[in-house]
Amino acid sequence: MFECFSMESRTVEAYIYTHTHPWSRIAKWSDSVHQIRNFSATKLNKGAREHPPTSRARGPREFGARVGVTPTHLGLLKGIMDSGNQLQSQGYAADITSIKEAKLRISPYIHETPVLTSKSLNFIARKQLYFKCECFQKGGAFKIRGASNAIFSLSNDQAAKGVVTHSRSIFNIFCYSGNHAAAVSLAAKLRGIPAYIVIPENAPRCKIENVKRYGGQVIWSEPTFQSRENVAKKVQQETGAIMVHPFNDKYIISGQGTISLELLEQIPEIDTIVVPISGGGLISGVTLAAKAINPSIRILAAEPRGADDAAQSKAAGQIIRLPETKTIADGLCAFLGDLTWPVVRDLVDDIITVDDEAIIGAMRMCYEILKVAVEPSGAIGLAAVLSDQFQQSAAWKDSNNIGIILSGGNIDLGVLWKSFGK
């Protein structure tokens, strides 16, 4: 099962974590980029479930050095097995049990995404970085996890009437803000039910094409929040379709939390996870799962400085809604919901804010060094790790193995080149 690769400009060091043994065996080799692409392009994109480990037992010599059982491994295993942890009794929208159930529910429909590493980026950051590549996920972003969990949780009677959601009206040529709409369309298609996607008339063409590509039925609205809400309610009344909220929903949160289950199984030694934050569905799920597995793990949110409502909310102790937002990462412009705010307030350790210039720089590093194209909202985690705010914080000293979630890769390449040229 291909799960962890380290990619450099001239050579590729590939680490294969195979679960034929409880603690994994690791193989390492160097080869040309051309040769490695030949297998990674197919194995990586098809997803781990389509390539189950062979039943033939392989000896340690064949795989290289074997990973030993360490106190860290034992502690994490205990955390994974202890689903009755304290978080379950604190009334959050999801817990380790619902997240494990989500993993079982959605596994046939999503990719188990790989983890990439880079010696060059480790040198720049002065830390060991592990990139969880949700940009390789179905639909090009993590959103399919929550959407598929919500849609496959419906009863047959509910599902038969279809689902409805609406897409934000902010015009953004990178198209990130259409990831939820595309994910709902795809998940509904996988279940064989209708998906009604309310889209404003001024939406970018790429967003509309993504929805149609995955089988969603586009319903037009005026470019205002109230219009989208009204049209969505009208669709619900006429069809009986179920609303699938992009983040403020317990099934969405549980689905997004499956990222932590995968990441901490792939790289158990991670002590810090950096997560993009917007409405809070992703970071809530990631946090609830990760802290249940390893209570001492550090969760850091990464937020655009031009849309820093979460940072302001955490500082004020209450939800702050900004009158306007301005950032290239428009997928991170939503405000926290009543289900996500308690998790951010209580369990997220800190929020790092970065400007657009840093985000574009991180996108460029991902493309030029990691060889991965990510959208602005997906690159913000790397920007946060490289920021002065993080490197001058108390968390810096104790963060040695850092997981960074590359949340999506849906971008317009023409615009990408222009942004790099600035």
Q: CB–CB of 174/138 below 8 Å? A: no
Phi, psi of 16 (to 5 degrees): -105, 115
Nearest C-alpha neighbor of 289 from the set 102, 131, 137, 111: 102
- Pairwise CA distance, residues 217 & 343, whole Å: 34
Give the dihedral sign, CA 83/115/135/353: positive
Return the ∠ at Cα 201 (arms to 233 and 182), rounded to 5°: 70
How far apart are alpha carbons 14 and 308 in whole angstroms?
A: 37
Q: What is the CA radius of gyration of the chain?
A: 21
Q: How far apart are CA 171 and CA 100, in angstroms?
A: 36
How far apart are the C-alpha atoms of 347 and 265, rounded to whole Å?
Answer: 21
Location of structure tokens 């942004």: 419
Tokens of 102: 């989500």
Q: How many residues does the chain have?
A: 422
State the amino acid at position 343 in one-letter form: V
Where in the sequence numbering do the catalytic residues fall? 143, 177
In this structure, how many other beta carbons lie within 10 angstroms of the beta carbon of residue 38? 11
Q: What is the DSSP letter of 369?
A: I
